[in-house]
Amino acid sequence: MVKLIPREYQKTIFENIKNNNSLVSVPTSLGKTLIAFMLAEHQLELYPNKKVLFLAPTRPLCNQHFESFNQFKSVVMNGLIKQSDRFKLYQENEVIFVTPQCITSDIKKGLDLNMFSLIIFDEAHRSIGDYAYVKIAEKYSKIPNHLILGMTASPGGNKAKIKEVCDNLHLTHVESRTNEDEDVKPYIQKTIVETTFIDLPDELKAISKKLKELFDSDLNGLKK
C-alpha cells in the first residue's frame, strides 16, 4: 500500500482529536479512514504494548477498512473463528477489525479492553438505544488513558440526536466538515447539475399508486 499524504483538513482534525474522545463527521469520500489511520498510528507509537480496536457494523465494512490498514499487523475477526483462536489473534495483532456483536461475545468471556489504547466506532450514529456500541463504550470509558473515536458521514438530523450519540460514546469533542468548508473546498471538484422534470406515463402512474397503497397499508399497521 502506498502511504497517502493527508490533506490539510485531515491534519487539522487529527491534531484536534489525538488527545480527545471525539466524533468526526465528514462526508463520504473526504477521507475519514485516513484520519482513523493517522490516529491509530499515533496511539501505537505512544503505547507500543497496546492495540487498536476498529469496530464496524458489518463484516464487509470490516474487510473494507482492513484493506486500508495493511501497513499494520492486523486481522479481521468474526463469529466463524473459534473464540479461543480469536483470543490468540487479539494478542498477535496490532489492529483488530471486528463487528460489535462479535466483540461483545468476547467481552462476556473475559476479554480485557485494557489491552486497547484506542477504539474506533465506525458508523457512530448507530450508537443509540441498546445498540452494542453503547455498552462497549461504557465499559471502555472506565479504563485509564483510553481514547475513543466515533466516525460518521451523517451524525443525525438535529442537535439532540448528535448529543445522544456523543453521550453514549463518551465523546467530548466534535470535528465536522462539509464540502462548503474553506479547508475542504480546494479538494472538491466542481460539478454541474441539471434537473429535468418529466411526466410519468399513465401505466407507471397506476403502478406507483398501487405501490403507495401497499406501503401505506403496511405503515398503518406498524403505527397501530
Query: Which runs of consecutive H residues, i.e. helices, occur in 76-171?
Result: 83-92, 100-108, 132-140, 159-169
- DSSP-derived secondary structure letter, 17: H
CB 85 within 8 A of CB 108: no
pLDDT above 80: residue 155: no
Q: What are phi and psi of 127, to 5 degrees?
A: -75, 65
For position 3, what pLDDT does the model report?
67
Cβ 94 vs Cβ 74: under 8 Å: yes
Task: Determine the angle formed by the axes of helices 32-46 and 8-17, rounding to 10 degrees.
Answer: 50
**pLDDT over 60 at 93, yes or no:** yes
Closest of 90, 55, 77 to residue 169, by C-alpha: 55
**What are 101-151's pLDDT values in tens digits?**
999 999 999 999 999 999 999 999 999 989 999 999 999 999 998 999 999
CA 47 to chain centroid, in Å, comes to 22
Q: Are 145 and 117 spatial neighbours (Cβ–Cβ below 8 Å)?
A: yes
- Mean pLDDT of all residues belonging to the chain: 91
In tens, the pLDDT along 188-216 reads 877 888 999 999 899 999 999 999 999 99
Rounded to two decimals, the pTM is: 0.82
Residue 1 is predicted with a pLDDT of 45
Residues 174, 25: contact at Cβ < 8 Å? yes
The residue-averaged pLDDT of 176-198 equals: 84
Nearest to residue 20, comparing CAs of 116, 127, 148?
148
Q: So what's the pLDDT on residue 224?
A: 84
Domains of the chain, start order: 8-187 (3.40.50.300)
Q: Considering only residues 78 and 104, tell me which one the structure prediction assigns the higher pLDDT.
A: 104
Q: Distance between CA 55 and CA 22 in Å, rounded?
A: 15
Q: What is the pLDDT of residues 11-53, one digit of tens each?
A: 999 999 999 999 999 888 888 999 999 999 999 999 999 999 9
Half-sphere exposure of 64 (CA within 13 A, CB side): 12
pLDDT at 178: 83
Alpha helices by DSSP H, 111-199: 132-140, 159-169
Contact 153, 179 (CB under 8 A): no
- Which residue, chain included where needed, has cell 490498514? 69
Q: What does the pLDDT average to over 141-168?
A: 90
Residue 2 has pLDDT above 70, yes or no: no
